A = this chain, B = another copy of it.
Amino acid sequence: MKLKGGNVELGNRLKEWRAKKDITQEELAIRINMSRQSINAIERGRFVPSILTALKMANFFETKIENLFYIK
């Protein structure tokens, strides 16, 4: 009994939030302690971050996860 829900895709507003805070990908990476390449990949939707990464970002931007990531 396995209902397959359609392939769920993830969207994000990282670039907008970075702009709002005037911060570079590298700075963000340093702040939340991860690589710049990972930030870049997440921002470009290349992969789905862990919820820990998402929470750290939300913390940094002083907002809710839902304002950063959403299901398309």
Number of copies of chain A assembled together: 2
Residue from B8, B48, B50, B65 within 8 A of A65 (CB atoms)? B65
Given A64-B66, A66-B64, residue A30 in contact with residue B51 (CB < 8 A): no
> Chain A at the B interface: mostly helix, strand, loop or mixed?
mixed
* Minimum distance in angstroms from A57 CB to a CB of chain B: 10
On whether the beta carbons of B51 and A53 are closer than 8 Å, the reply is: yes
Q: Which residue of B lies closest to A71 (CB)?
A: B55
Chain A residues within 8 Å of chain B by Cβ, number: 27
On A, residues with C-beta under 8 Å from B are: 1-5, 8, 10, 30-33, 48-56, 59, 64-66, 69-71
16 A–B contacts from the bound complex (CB under 8 Å): A1-B30, A2-B30, A5-B32, A10-B51, A10-B52, A48-B50, A48-B51, A48-B52, A49-B50, A52-B71, A55-B69, A55-B71, A56-B71, A59-B71, A64-B64, A65-B65
